[in-house]
Structure 1
Amino acid sequence: MSIFTPPKAFGLPLIAAVSLLSLSSAQAALIDVSNGQIYDDDLNVYWVKDANFFKTLADRHPGGAEALVRGVISGVRGVVHDTPNAYDNAGPGNYRLSATDFDTTTGAMNWWGAQAFVTYVNSHVRFGDGATGWRLPTTYELSTGAPGSELRHLFFNELGGRSDRPITSTHARAANYDLFQNVRSDFYWLGDTEYPANAKYVEVFSTATGRRGLGFDKTSKAYVWSVRTAPVAVVPLPGAWVLFASASAGLGWLAGSRKKPSGTRRVLGMGAASGR
């Protein structure tokens, strides 16, 4: 088969840089960007590093957990809008929040509380880059036609979870799992899953089993693991760019060193490559 033969002026440093960048891209999956977020380069999304962020905020809030709840409720002016259903207590399509919608002891909350908390994170919490756009994980259809979700991808593809095994005890990709904090083997809310025929029910994802929970009642308590779509398509590994910059400097030196009289001897390894 034919193979690429680099021009002589390119030299080994550039080949090394390209190889290192390719290797980094192939191996990278989750990247700790050191500001409370974990980047997933497969889905091009950022996850909140803390998988039970509400409880962490409740424990650390200067005014106490009750003050956090009041702030979350105030952030949506006390009401969450949804598809009209029998649970709406402030008119069709409107649910009025109360402190009982949140459990500050465990960090769980009902569906309306989850909507309000994501709004609160966007308006009151600033990570290192000041990013907003946080939401609940969305669902989609896999190439096999089976139902998938961003959280399912994280569970199986990135953390190495197994069906019907709690993620907290079974995670083949331990290095990725250890990037996160306060992960629970429990139900987590999914976004965009209200049932049109009966909006009392939505879907969740279980990190205890790796399965989606269908027909989950909005009044039940589950956890929030916020995610946001990255503003750019590629976020390179910082280390790879350092290597690339070093190799580029070497490339400049090599190119300059080639400007010598024609009698200069060839450098070994710079000739045409061959192979089969």
Structure 2
Amino acid sequence: MGRRCVGREAGQWNEGPLMRFTKSWGAAAAIVTVSGAAQAALFDRGGGMIYDTTHDITWLADMNYARTSGHIGDGVNTDGAMTWDAADSWADHLVYGGFDDWRLPTLIPSAEDKTCSRTFLWAGDHCSGGELSGLFVTDLGNKVNESVLNQTGDTAEQIANLALFSNVQSYAYWSGTKAMDGIMWYFATNGGIQSNYYQYVTFYALAVRPGDVAAVPEPPTLVLALLGLGATVMWRRRRPVPAA
């Protein structure tokens, strides 16, 4: 027997619950796929935290939170800059947003970072392979010989990304990456390069933690949820009606 034709015109076939659900699921999956493809690198999770999808880490939105929070201690200046030891201790003991696993971000030594366009002795140009350099160079548009606050020539996305952060300092930020005994890598936001220097000098500190702070389902999880919902709807439709 052929398929039953309904409706006013030939070719308009009767679609059962399974077919209708399949179409709905396909549309939902397409939306998930498109939205995932359009995602940017940084997301504001609220509460002063920014999720970085490239490195799967969460940044503290206040780039001078040590000063904002009134942090004091040995090696800490009144403007928030601090020695590397003080910066490392501050990040390690920081509790923010209910999380206590904050740390200093990483950098890849210039000689090892394949994204660097030029390396010389102790520094590198256009490096973006590390967490800290990736944030400033790729996401915020920090160019060589320019301040990160100079947005001339930045993309619309980079301009929007910078607006996610507060108290951005045009000087230098410590990383948690060691160069050699007593010397640590840092990123110079007043010139767009990474370098290393003695850890007793005072630079600013930016805290980061692993993972995402928001419970946002990944696309595959969302698709499974949609499948489960569709199955429930179909089961309810097929369930026999009890006799009166």
Please state how far the C-alpha of 1:11 moved relative to its aligned partner: 3.5
Structure 1 residues 17 and 157: alpha-carbon distance in aligned structure 2, compared to 1, 3 A threshold: farther
Paired with 1:156 and 1:145, the residues of 2 have a C-alpha distance of 11
- Higher relative CO (CA 8 A, sep ≥ 6), structure 1 or 2? 1
Is 2:119 the counterpart of 1:134? no
Paired with 2:33 and 2:235, the residues of 1 have a C-alpha distance of 26
Is 2:142 the counterpart of 1:161? yes
Report the counterpart of residue 209 of structure 2 in structure 1. Answer: 228
Please state how far the C-alpha of 1:151 moved relative to its aligned partner: 0.9
Structure 1 residues 159 and 236: alpha-carbon distance in aligned structure 2, compared to 1, 3 A threshold: farther
What TM-score, normalized by structure 1, do the two folds share?
A: 0.61
Q: 2:62 aligns with which of 50, 73, 82?
A: 50
Within 5 A, what are the aligned runs for 1:47-126?
47-58=59-70, 68-70=71-73, 98=74, 101-104=75-78, 106-121=79-94, 125-126=95-96
Report the counterpart of residue 195 of structure 2 in structure 1. Answer: 213
Structure 1 residues 14 and 164: alpha-carbon distance in aligned structure 2, compared to 1, 3 A threshold: farther
Paired with 2:29 and 2:164, the residues of 1 have a C-alpha distance of 27
- Per the alignment, in what secondary structure is the counterpart of residue 91 of structure 2? helix
Amino acid aligned to 2:35: S
What TM-score, normalized by structure 2, do the two folds share?
A: 0.69
Structure 1 residues 244 and 32: alpha-carbon distance in aligned structure 2, compared to 1, 3 A threshold: farther
Paired with 1:42 and 1:10, the residues of 2 have a C-alpha distance of 34
Paired with 1:257 and 1:116, the residues of 2 have a C-alpha distance of 57
Q: 2:182 aligns with which of 184, 200, 218?
A: 200
Please state how far the C-alpha of 1:221 moved relative to its aligned partner: 1.1
Report the counterpart of residue 23 of structure 1 in structure 2. Answer: 34
Please state how far the C-alpha of 1:110 moved relative to its aligned partner: 1.1
Paired with 1:237 and 1:164, the residues of 2 have a C-alpha distance of 41
Is 2:16 the counterpart of 1:13? no
**Cα displacement string for residues 14-36 of structure 1 (whole angstroms, at most 9, x for unaligned residues):** 22322222223223221111122
Amino acid aligned to 1:103: N
Contact 2:107 2:186 in 1 (8 A): no
Structure 1 residues 22 and 158: alpha-carbon distance in aligned structure 2, compared to 1, 3 A threshold: farther
Contiguous gaps of at least 5 residues in structure 2: 1-17, 118-126, 239-244
C-alpha RMSD over aligned residues: 3.4
- Per the alignment, in what secondary structure is the counterpart of residue 54 of structure 1? helix
